Amino acid sequence: MQAITDAELEAWHDYEVESSREIVALLRQIAEKNQLIRMLIKGEADVCVTSLLHVDPDAGALIIDRSVSPEQNKRIVAAGTVRCDTSLDKIRIVFGLDNLSEVEFEGGSALRCAIPASLIRLQRREFYRMPTPVTSPVRATIPLPAELGGDATVFPLADISCGGIAIYDNKMQLGTTIGETYANCRIDLPEIGAVTCSLQVRNSMDMTLLNNKTSRRLGCQFVDISRANLAAVQRYITKLERERNARLSGLA
């Protein structure tokens, strides 16, 4: 990961998470998946690679593995505030920790501090796709060209990102030509609204289902999408993430 600058932190306020429940859910996932954490004590000149051992929301505390260097542990405790940088499911997570202290944990030494009041979840959305709900399908309406019948046809989504969508073409109505573009498409995002743009086919895959029927999955890129429509897609992805985190933390 690249070094974090103060200017970047200032620009990342739109990605800040302040819900204590959501913060606990994210930190628990980081701990459960044993994600490595870069702890910056005084910037890039003093870095400790560590991991999160335990999240205790009742006590409002985190337990973090200490450095193998006793001298570095002293610097961590003396620093007052350290900055942590990690990732979860291809999403960069950045947070600060205050007033760390050395404690005994499960027969060894560790570091203890308060759960942060906020963190930054900096998703690289151009590479990250969120599966859409099976129980509440998202649908895209695509006007077919004259040679394919000319009708506006509805297709269920498989996933969504801020770069595009994947759809299921169960009746094989669309072509598979890479670069084929369909104009004036509409994607209806539950609780967010309709997004309109052009969709360009980027990849295709034919699949045999459990009932031996064949389906086709098409990956489509957004073309000429407006900032307002892209913001709506971002809001929907964030909504899906929060619902997933709530399920993982047992809150939904």
CATH code that applies to domain 6-123: 2.30.110.10
- Given a cut of 70, whether residue 128 has pLDDT beyond it is no
**What pTM does this model have?**
0.52
Q: What percent of the chain has pLDDT over 70?
A: 89
The string over 114-149, giving b where at least 16 C-beta atoms fall within 10 Å of a residue's C-beta and e elsewhere, is ebbeebbbbbebeebbbebeeeeebebebeeeeeee
Confidence (pLDDT) at 224 = 86
Confidence (pLDDT) at 57 = 95
Q: How many of the other CB atoms lie within 10 Å of CB of 162?
A: 20
Confidence (pLDDT) at 52 = 95
Residues 6+ apart with CB under 8 A from 132: 138, 157, 158, 159, 160, 240
Confidence (pLDDT) at 220 = 93
Residue bearing the bigger pLDDT, 67 or 136? 67
- Given a cut of 50, whether residue 18 has pLDDT beyond it is yes
Assign domain 130-248 one CATH number from 2.40.10.220, 1.10.8.80, 2.40.30.10, 3.30.360.10.
Answer: 2.40.10.220
Which of 21-30, 128-137, 198-207 ranks highest by mean pLDDT?
Answer: 21-30
Mean pLDDT, rounded, for 70-87: 92
- Given a cut of 70, whether residue 24 has pLDDT beyond it is yes
Residue bearing the bigger pLDDT, 54 or 2? 54
* Domain chopping of the chain, boundaries: 6-123, 130-248
- Given a cut of 50, whether residue 1 has pLDDT beyond it is no
Residues 6+ apart with CB under 8 A from 137: 156, 157
- Its sign, for the CA torsion 11, 245, 220, 90, is positive
Mean pLDDT, rounded, for 123-132: 66
